[in-house]
Structure 1
Amino acid sequence: MSVASFAAQAQELKIGYVNTERVMREANLAKAAGAKLEAEFSKRERELKEHETRLRAAAEKLDKDGPTLSEAERNRRQRDLVEQDRDLQRKRREWQEDLTQRRNEELSLVVERANRVVKHIFETEKYDLIVQDAIHASNRVDITKKVIDALNAQK
């Protein structure tokens, strides 16, 4: 009798599962955040690549011209190259840190909106439990598409 009672209670539970990674990959809001970051950081990335190309060309020129240069001139050019390389590495590190910080900011906004959508679904559809990023979940409890659709419907 108690087993039948427990089985009846278990059937009454309404459980949902949300794949956060899929939401972050497929939701228009997340795609827009990615495009915004691309637009914001692509110019600096291009400048870094150009700087790297110029530095590589200068190093090749030094290798080619090295035998004909005086030792003092060769040493000066090598110091300049080392200094330029340090500058490039510093700029690349700053760019990466800025990109990471902005990506985290943008993604946190997407996560916040997605969590509000999940909470709304939880309350309006009377779920008992909604989990994110489970190891295994059946399609029967997967509400990821519903969350993505609700996010995409928002303006």
Structure 2
Amino acid sequence: MKKVKKIISVLSISVALLFTGIANAEVKIGVIDVMTVLQNMPQRETVGQALNKEFEAREKSLREEEKKASDAAARLKKDGLTLSSSEKTKLNKTISDFENKAQAFSTDYRKRESEEVGKLLAKIQEAVKDIVTTEKYDIILKAEATLSASDAVDITSKVLEKVKK
């Protein structure tokens, strides 16, 4: 029993000394506003233009179908009581087809946009790692996760400069 107490006290003292050593060590902390970097990257505009070009034909086709669907909805509203069942079905199908294509377009666009943003975020991560290595940072926090931080620890502009290269 005495041995167990002695072991526990030795361990407790060791742990206390370990944490005291850590507490006295200087820790270099940086804070980054990832959204600011992402929004100000020159590559972001290029990605936006490429996505618009990639989806341009589909968007044009969708606008034409939107007009047809809008006309079909107006006709259903105006003449719905006098239209035959097959004509109503045809108009409803036109509207439904447009809605499905619009949903698919939106999903595809968001998916591609997410892929491209992921690539930009990878560039940001690479720049942060480079800064951590060269400037010997111990911890980098996202600005969104901090309650307050001085400008002295903000590395957002450094990261932005790195990703611009």
CA distance in structure 1 between the partners assigned to 2:159 and 2:77 by the alignment: 58
Greater C-alpha radius of gyration: 2
Offset of 1:62 from its aligned partner? Answer: 5.1
Match of 1:152 in 2: 164
1:134 aligned residue (136, 142, 145)? 145
2:58 aligned residue (13, 19, 44)? 44
User: Does 2:100 correspond to 1:83?
Assistant: no
Q: Which amino acid aligns with 1:95?
A: F
Do the aligned partners of 1:28 and 1:152 also contact (CA within 8 Å) in 2? yes
TM-score normalised by L of structure 1: 0.79
Offset of 1:90 from its aligned partner? Answer: 1.2
User: Does 2:33 correspond to 1:19?
Assistant: yes
Where structure 2 has 5 or more consecutive residues not aligned to the other structure, the ranges are 1-19
Match of 2:69 in 1: 55
Where structure 1 has 5 or more consecutive residues not aligned to the other structure, the ranges are none
**Sequence identity (%):** 32
Q: What RMSD in Å do the two structures reach over aligned CA positions?
A: 2.5
Match of 2:42 in 1: 28
1:125 aligned residue (132, 135, 149)? 135
Q: Which amino acid aligns with 1:16?
A: G
CA distance in structure 2 between the partners assigned to 1:25 and 1:102 by the alignment: 17
TM-score normalised by L of structure 2: 0.74
Q: Deviations over 1:63-100 (max 9, x none)?
A: 55x38x9x5x5322211111111111111111112112
Pick which of 36-45 and 144-153 moved more: 36-45
CA distance in structure 1 between the partners assigned to 2:77 and 2:28 by the alignment: 70
SS of aligned partner of 1:140: helix
Question: Quick one: higher RCO (CA 8 Å, sep 6+), 1 or 2?
Answer: 1
